[in-house]
Amino acid sequence: MSSDWSVVINIALIFVVTFVAKFIKEKLGIFRTIIVPTALLAGFIGLIIGPEITGLINFDSALYEKIVFHSMALGFIALTLAEKKTEYKSDTVKSGLFIVATYCFQGVIGMLTVWGLIYTIKPDLFEGLGLMLPLAYGQGPGFASSIGSSWDEVLPYGFVNQYGLTLATVGFLVAGLFGIFMLNYFVRKYKIPVARLNRIKGLQTKELSISSVQEINFFDMLTVQFVWIAIIYLATFLVMQVTVSFLSLFGTIGQTIASLVKGFNFLFGIILATLFKRMILFLSRRGHRTESLLDSYLLNNISSLFFNIMITASIMAISIEEIQGYWELLLVVAIVGAFTTYFFTIWLGKKMFLNNTIHYILAMFGMLTGTASTGLALLRGVDPDLKTDVARNLILGSAVAAPLGFPLMAILGLPIIGFTTNNPVYSYITFIAIFLYMSLLIGIGIMKTKREKSTSKQE
């Protein structure tokens, strides 16, 4: 393969397998019953035809790891720039509390599981690897890869990034296969009248109204959105470089934190996109025609594009050969994470949501083991037309969860500092902090539900 075409062909292959996956979903009836996102199916097709299994096509797995790393940050920048509604109802806020509380729960379970492995069959493991459970299951392959690649620079294993990508892929399977079991179980138990997904006929359409600045046509407007995203991501790189250089001045701990900063490109991108959006709003209020240059419809679609690329590339980047180095860890964490998340979402869903409880449980489980798309796919099993407010609160709840999740991001580096300084106290502090934060979020959510109950009784 010519080096001039290598990168282009590797990237084009992502879209080729996506087309094949879409064709298979349209033509094979079984995929109208089984919940499999197109990007996920495309990734498996690429993995099967790739050098790791059949060898039909040779592609650059290392390039796909980089694509996962960058596409997540670009997707979040686009999502941040898109317009969002700011009126949050009670269930929206509780959805955000639920999401972050589950992240914390998965972190607690993950660390306990790895500690169990350390004291039984794998004494050389690092307990912080348990935190990959909420990163992979709860937040997806992008987060797992970003943090995993930065941890690989510090830890001696060399498989942390691959472990995160593989665990995230297992999470997609849990969301789909386990999710179908949940869906059918709840439908039978609570006698929920449903329209089966494989019985939804015809082409589903909706009308869209798009407005643009008069001097700029639709396709120019698309270019403008990519320009803003590119400028912000370039600024992200520069800010990260300055931050890393500054932290490296503070000895071993500073260098350790600096290596972790490299995995938070998405966080720097979100912050800079938020600042950019505020600047646009400020200029608009001063009479400049700036706010109209951000098109929410296009930005949401660009975000979706990057996230789909991320999911497909993350699976194609998996090295089957390397799994043998961490298969015990992967197997135990994946199974324990699946079952505990299942019971936790059912328990907390019944505690937090008074209305559409089963809908929320299904949607949250799908999202917190897979992605928002698998959550919405499970929700459509009981609400095919998305007539309830669950889908809206699921998406807006993710926006509420973003600032609530910052404390978790801040303490992710503590176990690594403990590893480099040979001080296990940092891991214990991390575990206690996550557990207390989880308890706080659950307490707030349950108290809000109790207030709602007492208010409804008075009325």
Could you give the percent of the chain with pLDDT greater than 70? 86
Determine how many CB atoms are found less than 10 A away from the CB of residue 236: 23
Question: Which of 10-19, 127-136, 447-456 is predicted least confidently?
Answer: 447-456
Full 3-state SS string of 114-151: HHHHHCCCCCCCCHHHHHHHHHHHHCCHHHHHHHHHHH
Q: Which residues contact 20 (CB under 8 A, 6 or more apart)?
A: 42, 45
Distance from chain centroid for Cα 309: 13
345: tokens are 């979402």
What spatial distance separates the first Cα and last Cα of the chain, rounded to whole Å?
72
Q: In which region does residue 158 sit, left (phi positive, over 0), alpha (psi from -120 to 50) or beta (all else)? A: left
Say what the pTM is: 0.76
Q: What is the pLDDT at residue 209?
A: 57
Asked if the model's pLDDT at residue 68 lies above 90, the reply is no
DSSP string, 178-215: IHHHHHHHHHHHTT-----GGG--S-----------TT
Q: Among 418, 78, 73, 68, which residue's Cα sits nearest to residue 264?
A: 73
Asked if the model's pLDDT at residue 106 lies above 90, the reply is yes
Q: For residue 59, what is the enclosing H or E element?
A: none
Q: Which residues contact 81 (CB under 8 A, 6 or more apart)?
A: 225, 228, 229, 232, 273, 276, 277, 294, 299
Highest mean pLDDT among 247-251, 432-436, 452-456: 432-436
401: tokens are 């969860």
Exposure string for 304-342, b = 16+ CB within 10 A, e = fewer:
eebbbbbbbbbbbbbbeebbeebeebbebbbebbbebbb
Which residue bears the tokens 């996956």? 21
**What is the spatial distance between Cα 398 and Cα 233, in angstroms, rounded to a whole number?**
22
Asked if the model's pLDDT at residue 232 lies above 90, the reply is yes
Nearest 10 degrees: Cα torsion 42, 48, 50, 56: -120
**What is the spatial distance between Cα 59 and Cα 1, in angstroms, rounded to a whole number?**
10
Q: What is the pLDDT at residue 87?
A: 42
Q: Which residues contact 267 (CB under 8 A, 6 or more apart)?
A: 409
Question: What mean pLDDT, rounded, does the chain reach?
Answer: 83
- Higher pLDDT: 193 or 429? It is 429
Asked if the model's pLDDT at residue 240 lies above 70, the reply is yes
Determine how many CB atoms are found less than 10 A away from the CB of residue 32: 14
Q: What is the pLDDT at residue 344?
A: 96
**What is the spatial distance between Cα 365 and Cα 374, in angstroms, rounded to a whole number?**
9
Quick one: CA dihedral 374, 376, 377, 381, positive or negative? positive
3-state secondary structure of 52: coil
Question: Which of 52-66, 134-148, 332-346, 390-404 is predicted least confidently?
Answer: 390-404
Residue 177 is given by DSSP the state I
Q: Among 29, 103, 12, which residue's Cα sits nearest to residue 63?
A: 12
Q: In which region does residue 34 sit, left (phi positive, over 0), alpha (psi from -120 to 50) or beta (all else)? A: beta
pLDDT band at 459 (very low <50, low <70, confident <90, very high): low
pLDDT in tens, 307-350: 888 888 888 888 887 788 888 999 999 999 999 999 999 999 99
pLDDT band at 218 (very low <50, low <70, confident <90, very high): low
- Higher pLDDT: 399 or 57? It is 57
Question: Which of 274-278, 392-396, 443-447 is predicted least confidently?
Answer: 392-396
Q: Check: CB of residue 80 under 8 Å from CB of residue 274.
A: yes
Q: Check: CB of residue 410 under 8 Å from CB of residue 350.
A: no
Highest mean pLDDT among 111-120, 376-385, 449-458: 111-120
